[in-house]
C-alpha cells in the first residue's frame, strides 16, 4: 500500500515538473484546414460544354419550323434539367465563379443555367452575381436580367425591361413585362451596360411594348 502511494506521489511530482512536456504529449491533434483550390481549367471545360448545350438547343428551336418545335422544347427541358444538376454542384462547392478565373463563356454558362432554372435558385445566387458584377467579375447585364426575371416570377414590376411574356391573359401575344418607373428605364439600361433601348429590345424579342397598359390580374396585389 505504501509502495503504491509512493509511486503515485512520484508520478504527480514528475507531471508537475514537466507539465509543458506532458501537455504536448496529450494535446489533441487539430485537423489542418487547407485552403480550397479552385480547379479553374476543369471547371472551365465543364461549363463551356454546358454553355454549348444550353445555347445549342435554343438556337435549334429558333431555326426549326413550328411543327418540329414541340419535340425540341421537350429536349430543351431535359437538357436544362441535366445542366442544373451539374451547375448546382459547382455553385454549392465554389459559389458563383469570377469571370477572370474561368473565362467569359464559362461564366455565361452559369448565368444561363440559373436564369433558366426556378426562382428559388435565382434568389439564392443573385446576390453573389450582383456582387461580382459590381467588382467587374461578372457582366452587369447578366445581373440586371436575372433581377428582372426574378421580379417577373414574383409578379412584380421589372427594372430594366429585359423580360417579355405570353400567357392566357395576353391571348398568345408577346408583351414586355410591366416596368417600374418606365420613364427612366432606358437610362437604367444604359447604366447597366445594355446597348439597346427597351423599345429596341422589344423588337428583338418580337414583343409589344405598351408601358402604360397593364393587364388586370397580372401583377401581385
Q: What is the pLDDT along the chain (221 residues), one digit of tens a residue?
A: 544 444 444 444 444 444 443 344 334 444 444 445 678 899 999 999 999 999 999 999 999 999 999 999 999 999 999 999 999 999 999 999 999 999 999 999 999 999 999 999 999 999 999 999 999 999 999 999 999 999 999 999 999 999 999 998 888 899 999 999 999 999 999 999 999 999 999 999 999 999 998 888 899 87
The domain limits of the chain are 40-138, 156-221
pLDDT of res. 39: 86
pLDDT of res. 1: 52
Q: What is the pTM of this model?
A: 0.80
Spatial distance between the Cα atoms of 168 and 213, rounded to a whole number of angstroms:
16
Whole-angstrom CA distances from 14 to 20, 21, 166, 208 are: 11, 10, 84, 89
What is the DSSP code string of the chain? -HHHHHHHHHHHHHHHHTHHHHHHHHPPPPPP-PPPP--HHHHHHHHHHHHHHHHHHHHHHHHS-GGGHHHHHHHHHHHHHHHHHHHHHHHHHH-SPPHHHH-HHHHHHHHHHHHTS-HHHHHHHHHHHHHHHHTTSS-HHHHHHHHHHHHHHTT--BSSS--EE--TTTTT--EEPPBTTGGGHHHHHHHHT-SS-HHHHHHHHT-B--TT---TT-S--
CA-closest candidate to residue 101, choices 138, 67, 56, 148: 138
Spatial distance between the Cα atoms of 194 and 77, rounded to a whole number of angstroms:
28
pLDDT of res. 190: 98
Give the tens place of pLDDT for each residue, 158-210: 999 999 999 988 888 999 999 999 999 999 999 999 999 999 999 999 999 99
Cell 428605364 found at: 185
Rg from Cα positions in the chain: 29
Q: Are 142 and 122 in contact (CB under 8 A)?
A: no
Strand partners, 125: none
pLDDT of res. 220: 87
Spatial distance between the Cα atoms of 151 and 166, rounded to a whole number of angstroms:
16
pLDDT of res. 172: 86
Q: Are 117 and 54 in contact (CB under 8 A)?
A: no
Amino acid at each position: 500500500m505504501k509502495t503504491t502511494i509512493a509511486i503515485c506521489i512520484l508520478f504527480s511530482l514528475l507531471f508537475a515538473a514537466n507539465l509543458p512536456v506532458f501537455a504536448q504529449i496529450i494535446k489533441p491533434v487539430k485537423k489542418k484546414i487547407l485552403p480550397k483550390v479552385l480547379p479553374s481549367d476543369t471547371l472551365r471545360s465543364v461549363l463551356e460544354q454546358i454553355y454549348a448545350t444550353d445555347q445549342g438547343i435554343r438556337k435549334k428551336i429558333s431555326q426549326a419550323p413550328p411543327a418540329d418545335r414541340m419535340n425540341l422544347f421537350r429536349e430543351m427541358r431535359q437538357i436544362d434539367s441535366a445542366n442544373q444538376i451539374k451547375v448546382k454542384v459547382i455553385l454549392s462547392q465554389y459559389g458563383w465563379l469570377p469571370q477572370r478565373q474561368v473565362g467569359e463563356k464559362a461564366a455565361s454558362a452559369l448565368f444561363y443555367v440559373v436564369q433558366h432554372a426556378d426562382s428559388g435558385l435565382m434568389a439564392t445566387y443573385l446576390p453573389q452575381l450582383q456582387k461580382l458584377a459590381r467588382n467587374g467579375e461578372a457582366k452587369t447585364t447578366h445581373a440586371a436580367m436575372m433581377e428582372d426575371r426574378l421580379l417577373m416570377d414574383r409578379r412584380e414590376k421589372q427594372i430594366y425591361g429585359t423580360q417579355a411574356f405570353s400567357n392566357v391573359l395576353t391571348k398568345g401575344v408577346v408583351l414586355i413585362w410591366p416596368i417600374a418607373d418606365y420613364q427612366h428605364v432606358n437610362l437604367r439600361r444604359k447604366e447597366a451596360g445594355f446597348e439597346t433601348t427597351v423599345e429596341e429590345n422589344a423588337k428583338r424579342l418580337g414583343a409589344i411594348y405598351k408601358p402604360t397598359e397593364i393587364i388586370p390580374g397580372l401583377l401581385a396585389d
